[in-house]
Amino acid sequence: MSIGATILMIVFFPLNSFLFLHESWIGGNQVQADSSVGSESIVGLVKGVEIQKQIELPKPKAQASDDPQFLPARKNGIDDLVVSNAHASVVIDADSGTILHYADGRTHRQIASLTKLMTAVLTMEKVKDLDEVVTIDEEAVYAEGTKIGCPRSGYCISPRLKVGEKITVRSLLQAMLMNSANDAAIALANHMAGSQDAFAKMMNKKADDLGLVDTNFCTSSGLDLDDENAAAGCYSSAYDIARIAAYSLRYDTIWKIARLPSNTIVTSVDGKIEHTILNTDQLLDQMPNIIGAKTGFTPLAGYSLLMVVADPSTKHRIVGVVLDDPQRWQDIKTMVSWTFNSYTWN
């Protein structure tokens, strides 16, 4: 194949195909800031070959901004970050989508309640009025694990949802994002799509629209399926969920909810039932410039965590993800510190 044909082939690769090709070349090692998808990375791949400066590429999708004002650059002499406790870890620049730290970022894994970020995105896009009323069904009420009123399985601090109870989409979003309530996720999905299966199809359609190639959702909540063989077909990756989180930053409401304090009260529409919602974010009042976090745990997924943090100027936002990491809180702090000490934005 001629050099010209090779260049033409690279230039017109779709966004997700290009990333797959690039990562296969680096062999799963850490990807530096110059791996951002754009004209600079194309030039880097064909170094020494003169090409036109103006190259049309697909518009970015799964990131916070279609036209980022700043791009990160790694400082000289910085050692790679190693997160030894995590089975997968990724840090990306939220606005440009640039990969800042990468370890097993495309490995398919269960992601537990990190799934709920996609449910939140679809809620923002499909429900025009967050004060719209949802009628709670039996499937939501009998959900396993964390539920509204019960911040941990078997530990309840306020009334649970009742069959037939009417509650707003906004209240369910709060419970789902703050306390990772599975009944809230199921209720929202059934309200929007009619069933969990139909909503999972909506989730996967959105993932495809965003160019995500390592994700297949099965539920709105991220709960493990009872059938282990079926559960193996429900997965995402540290990199894909980081990109979903970056995209979700387009919706301020999601992250305002993520920062609400524990003991927030939501009520049924008639005001007769009050539910107390806790926040699972242990660093909410400890880490400066935190935008929000989402926790996840199931026996198959292990302990996972996603966090969005801004730098002191608040102009630059990063997304950090650890999957299956028993030291997730300490490791995410280390990742944030390393990233802001290792990069500048220009």
The catalytic site residues sit at: 113, 116, 180
What six digits make up the tokens of 264? 């927030």
CA distance linking residue 196 with residue 334, whole number of Å: 37
Helix, strand or coil for residue 343?
A: strand
Handedness of CA 171, 126, 64, 206 (dihedral sign): positive
Helix, strand or coil for residue 323?
A: strand
Residue recorded with tokens 């609400």: 260
Q: Identify how many contiguous H helices and E strands the chain contains and give both numbers.
A: 12, 11
What six digits make up the tokens of 187? 């209720």
CA distance linking residue 174 with residue 116, whole number of Å: 11
Q: What is the DSSP string of 251-312?
A: -HHHHHHHTPPTTEEEE-TTS--EEEE----TTTTTSTTEEEEEEEEETTTEEEEEEEEE-T
Which phi-psi region, left, alpha or beta, contains residue 302 (left: φ > 0; alpha: ψ -120 to 50)?
Answer: left
CA distance linking residue 319 with residue 64, whole number of Å: 10
The kind and range of the H/E element at 247 are helix 238-248
Residue recorded with tokens 């754009």: 38
Helix, strand or coil for residue 331?
A: helix
CA distance linking residue 185 with residue 219, whole number of Å: 9
